[in-house]
Amino acid sequence: MREKKSFISYLATDDFLPGILVLHESLKNHNPHIPFLVITSDEVSSDTIKLLNYLSIPSKQVAPVNNPNPIINVNRNFRVTYTKLRIFELTEFSKIVYLDADMIVLGNIENLFHAPHMSAVIAGGFLPKNHSWEDLNSGLLVIEPDQRLFNRMIMQIDKLSSIDGGDQGFLQSFFPEWPTEKHKHLDHKYNIPTQYVDSYCHLNNCSLAERSDKILIIHYWAYYKPWKYKQPENNRYHYREAICIWIKHYDMIIESLSKKNIIGGIYDYLNRIHEIIHQ
């Protein structure tokens, strides 16, 4: 019987490489005994794959799963998001914990491997104003891969709607019973959106600086990613703190790469990102 487990993430394009590197670094710091695998789309460059190999980050290119929704009607970043569904056919593992590339881990999360299949967080649902939210956020998923399940998904892709035009909306339609399956609803500490981090800290009397078990995963969701633009002006203390934590990890990665005398190609891109976020 399979008993192999792994953390998994998905790299759709080179643009999200900084996120993958920081996620990997954070997992290595807090969960060093669990392997990490990055599945990649065919749009990821060979330079990026070479860098992942150089850094001993295992990767596996998977075949594309086409987004059936009209691209003009969805976020352009969702063009290759359905390929993420390939995680459901990683049957070389008995259980996986999937994390989006725009996440950072702040503590030990190995206990997630004891959670049932399709466990996830109603991210942001802890706020009183979001009390009506009941659907899963696909940024963090606990999955027991099953080829037959994946095959059923493929058969339904053109039939089921996706409210957001991406994999999350599809999964919400494919698992319509999930909102009532309370045993699959993970604690909010496993998927705290930066948008709501100040409210979360206030409601739970905690701080990112404390490194308490009340905050284990930060999700830099939506449009702004820490590596894409200079840090925006924002007077929310914990939001700024969350961004600074990500940047601190990235700084250490760039410093390490600079000592390895890596030049050109994808390293130039990573270094430009480093310069932009410190302007």
Would you state the pLDDT for residue 264?
73
pTM for this predicted structure = 0.96
List beta partners, residue 11: 40
**Within a 10 A sphere around the Cβ of 97, how many other Cβ atoms?**
25
Which has the higher per-residue pLDDT, 135 or 231? 135
The rounded mean pLDDT for the chain is: 93
Residue 249 belongs to some domain of the structure:
no
Q: Is the pLDDT of residue 60 over 80?
A: yes
* Amino acid 212: pLDDT: 80
Residue 265: what pLDDT?
83
Confirm if 17 and 40 have CB atoms less than 8 A apart. no
Is the pLDDT score of 79 beyond 90? no
Is the CB of residue 270 less than 8 Å from the CB of residue 227?
A: no
CATH number at residue 91: 3.90.550.10
Q: Does pLDDT of 221 surpass 70? A: yes
Phi, psi (rounded to 5 degrees) for 88 = -75, -10
* pLDDT of 98 strictly over 70: yes
Cβ atoms 82, 62 nearer than 8 A: no
Would residue 103 count as lying in a domain? yes
Instruction: Give the confidence band of 71 by pLDDT, cuts at 50, 70, 90.
Output: low
**Which residues are bridge partners to 1 per DSSP?**
none
Tell me if 252 is assigned to some domain.
Answer: no
Q: Is residue 262 part of a domain?
A: no
Domain ranges, residue 47 = 5-226
Give CA–CA dist 262/109, Å, rounded: 32
